[in-house]
A and B are shown apart, each in its own frame.
Chain A
Amino acid sequence: MSWFTFTWQNFLYSFLALAFEGLPFVLIGSLISGAIAVFVPSKIITSMLPKNGFLATLASGLLGLCFPVCECGIVPIVRRLINKGLPVSCGVTFMLASPIVNPIVAFSTFAAFRGQAPWLNMAVRLILGYLVAVSAGLVVRRLDPASILRTGAARIPTRKRLAFSVTPLPDAESIGIEASFQGKLIAAVRMACDDFIDTAIYFMIGAAVAATFNTAVDQQIILPLSLQPTLSTFAMMAMASILTLCSTSDAFIAATFVSFPIFARMAFMVFGPMFDLKLFFLYSVLFKKRFVIGLGIGLFLFIGLICSRVLIYLYAGQIL
């Protein structure tokens, strides 16, 4: 018996199941993203943050609860906000937390892990995502913005400037969108569709890889990998960075890797939305390459160690 037995029948069946399950959630996330882009000015987001830099960093990690944005749409928003005076630490925290700590991801995680302690997994994912994002933000707070931000990508603030001087984004009318509600609605739908297309392409590629992995590969082969806690955790994070899934639907993929322990799948769901192949390129638009690489390595080690050394005890005794 070969370790790899690919058949189109199995691939199509698994691939279509993933697509039917995940695409509606990607669409819903895109619609909300489009609505926020058109109807919610950035002033509302920044006005919710405290003036104290430390507290602002903590609060930035929760912004996604009010303004759910997936990782594909977050980079341009953060870049825009930093340009308008948002502290870089808050921007990084918001950028890393928002794709996880938001109601859409909470709901999709709960739905995907139906029958596998959904409340626990949803809570662990959100709390861990928040803690990791805030930790990264607090580290960034100690760094010189000039050493982080790419030259010309954003207006580099002075190191000590923590107060906000945020001005709202231009009104919809000033960027070519009709002022009427109907005009804004159409613009929101168009933006949502563009967001969806950008995101869904990566989702479908990820679903194809997952379908191949789940049907063609003899699970006995990878069983030793999945049995070793540390190895399985880092393997799942590496897989997350390759699959480049959307955070609104990656839980559905993670839930299918049933041969891997739940803490390894949790690492997949926390690391993936924060750093994957497409995000490496997206982050490079705003940040210097050296910082992006450092951020990736730091997140990889931090999340991996938490999941394989701490979560393993949280999930002890549960068959998930």
Chain B
Amino acid sequence: MRAKFCNLLNGITLIGLGAVLLDFFFTGRLDQYLHPQFRPWTLVGGIIFCVAGIIYSAAKTTAQCCVEGECVHQNANSLTRSLIAFSVLFVPLATGVALSKDSYDQHALINRGFVEDMTGLPGRTAPPASKTSTDQVIPPQALGADLDERASQPLPQDTNGAPPSQDVASNGGTDQANPAVPSPDEGSAQYLPKGADGNVALEVTDLLYAESEDSLRKMFSDKTIEVVGQYLPGSDPKEFKLVRMFIVCCAADARPLAVPVEVSAPTSVAEMGWVKVIGKATYPKKGDRVHVLFKADTVEPTDPPAEAMLY
């Protein structure tokens, strides 16, 4: 009797796990938790959990599964083990379904520390000390925030070992090595994505990458830019941080990317609320390198993007 009850409870635990995984997958909540590459595994896992749970609870219990004294599962019919499994495996996940807000609050961001230099992100190599604008070819999709929400891949950065190339400034702004690549000035219009209002629509990552890319800074200069992110107030009422979370695998490894924003008048937006900021990107020099400072003309609440995370 006890063995049957343990079987049933273990089966319920497994089916419950599967149900939670499938619920998160089909309701789309999983998008806030995992990188797209991991989401199919959750679907597969959810289905297998359900099937395995049904088999486990329905199949008759064998007297022993291994050689006497060498069995791996000596506690398989322990009621305590089944109750612990139910409490530790299923209850927390079920609680998460009900209580999780699918996002971090400002405390987690502050505890993790803000990434304000893209070279500090995992997998990014530090740019060479001296870079020129012809080191790279900028694909339009790299900046296509409005074309594809997931297209937040960084612009090509890794030019280590690349042969020295000509400086745009020294050849009149044209790329003689690769005529197909227009100069930053003449080609920027075709590369930069536009928002509904006709502004250049960028991601936080684009602004940060431009800190180490002269060509991007030239491309962004004098353009009216709109950026979407989460609002985190600063100590000065005329300053705040525009934040997006960057994840490698899942939300647990998320790191907050922040662009400092300067406004002419204090704004009243909820902490961590989504805002669209319209203004101009400036890159003042601090010490031996430049850092972005976004000077906002308007700050208005907006809906979260389809993909709240950047990858």
Contacts and interface: CB of A to CB of B under 8 A. Distances in A.
Interface of A: 1, 5, 7-10, 12-21, 23-25, 27-28, 31, 37, 73, 76, 79-80, 83, 111-112, 114-117, 169-170, 175-177, 186-187, 189-198, 200-201, 204-205, 208, 210-211, 214-220, 252, 255-256, 258, 318-320
A71 B270 CA distance: 48
Contacts of A177: 62, 65
B87 to A, nearest CB: 9
Given A200-B89, A219-B113, A9 B101 contact: yes
Interface residues of B, number: 70
A170 B65 CA distance: 11
A16 B32 CA distance: 11
12 contacts: A9-B104, A37-B65, A80-B67, A114-B249, A115-B248, A116-B123, A170-B67, A193-B14, A193-B56, A214-B252, A215-B112, A252-B252
A76 B72 contact: yes
Given A169-B67, A175-B66, A18 B252 contact: yes
Contacts of A14: 104, 108, 251-252
Given A114-B249, A258-B255, 6 more contacts: A10-B104, A13-B33, A13-B104, A20-B33, A190-B59, A204-B88
B73 to A, nearest CB: 4
Q: Chain B binding site: helix, strand, loop or mixed by DSSP?
A: helix
A200 to B, nearest CB: 6
B52 to A, nearest CB: 5
Contacts of A37: 65-66, 72
A258 B30 CA distance: 23
A205 to B, nearest CB: 7
B71 A76 contact: yes
Contacts of A114: 35, 37, 248-249
A15 B96 contact: yes
A27 B65 contact: no
Interface stretch (B41-49, B200-208, B274-282, B289-297): B41-49
A116 B48 CA distance: 30
Contacts of A208: 92
B171 to A, nearest CB: 32
A191 B108 CA distance: 39
Contact of B52 (A16, A112, A193, A217): A193
A192 B52 contact: yes
A83 B70 CA distance: 10
Given A13-B251, A24-B41, A197-B89, A7 B52 contact: no
Contacts of A23: 17, 21, 45
A219 B252 contact: no
A176 B34 contact: no
A186 B84 CA distance: 24
Given A8-B99, A83-B70, A17 B113 contact: no
A175 B126 CA distance: 60
